[in-house]
Amino acid sequence: MTYIEGFVAAVPVANREKYLKHAADAAPIFKDLGVRRMVECWQQDVPEGKVTDFRRAVQATEGEAVVFAWFEYADKTTRDAANEKMLSDPRMKQMGDEMPFDGRRMIIGGFEGIVEQHDASRTTGYVDGFVVPVPEGNRERYRQLASQMSEVFLKHGATRVVEAWGSDIPDGKVTDFRRAVKAEAGENVVCSFIEWPSQAARGSGWEQVMKDPACQNSPKDIFNGQRMFWGGFEPILDRK
């Protein structure tokens, strides 16, 4: 199953085009290193949470937007080899020197895919991103629930659903995935996303999902929903 390298960053709104060029210029490098797909998404509908949210995750300030992005690898071995090559690739140093955002507040982590459902007949035009704290002991219960719900989302218009379990989540100096969800001892972090054909399809799809019996009857004790955060994003780059 696909291995995901997930990223969340705060980017000045004024730097949107610079960021897009930076990502586009980097895409061929990452392809050379083994990335099968690279997706960059710009904040569109990111609600403020009571406990956690995307903006707090990266300490976004006024005038900054949140970017939710990910790399897809064949497996963790391929991803680890790519990261090793990055350490000695001079192109990566140049990229680091030219970043149009504060990299110190970017959060990054490696996630093992546990659910992946795809409707190949539809294209992607909008993305819902989620970050969730889940007790380690609830991994299988979470996977079963996520698998069930992925079918519901596809039934109501989603193009793809991916749920990925944290396997390599480094501590950051300023922030990181664990701090973003206020993870407690014995909890892991899940990074997931739902791809939709459009923002309109996402809106109507969610209306149907919330009415679906599978959603209404789902267990509520698998993870702490108060510390989960989510948001809607516009894809600005999608390279395979």
pLDDT digits (tens, 9 = 90+) for 45-95: 999 999 999 999 999 999 999 999 999 999 999 999 999 999 888 888 888
CA distance 45 to 199: 10
pLDDT at 195: 98
CA distance 113 to 103: 26
pLDDT at 122: 83
Question: What are the residues whose beta carbons fall under 8 Å from the beta carbon of 108, sequence distance 6 or more?
Answer: 5, 6, 7, 170, 172, 177
pLDDT at 93: 82
pLDDT at 217: 80
The answer to whether 112 touches 3, Cβ cutoff 8 Å, is yes
Q: Which residues of 191-205 are buried (b: 16+ CB within 10 A; e: fewer)?
A: bbbbbbbbeebbeeb
Low-confidence ranges of the chain (pLDDT < 50): none
pLDDT at 47: 97
pLDDT at 218: 82
Q: Where do we find the tokens 């996520």?
A: 146
Question: Residue 35 sits in which domain range?
Answer: 3-239
**How many domains does the chain divide into?**
1
pLDDT at 92: 85
Give the CATH number, domain containing residue 43.
3.30.70.100
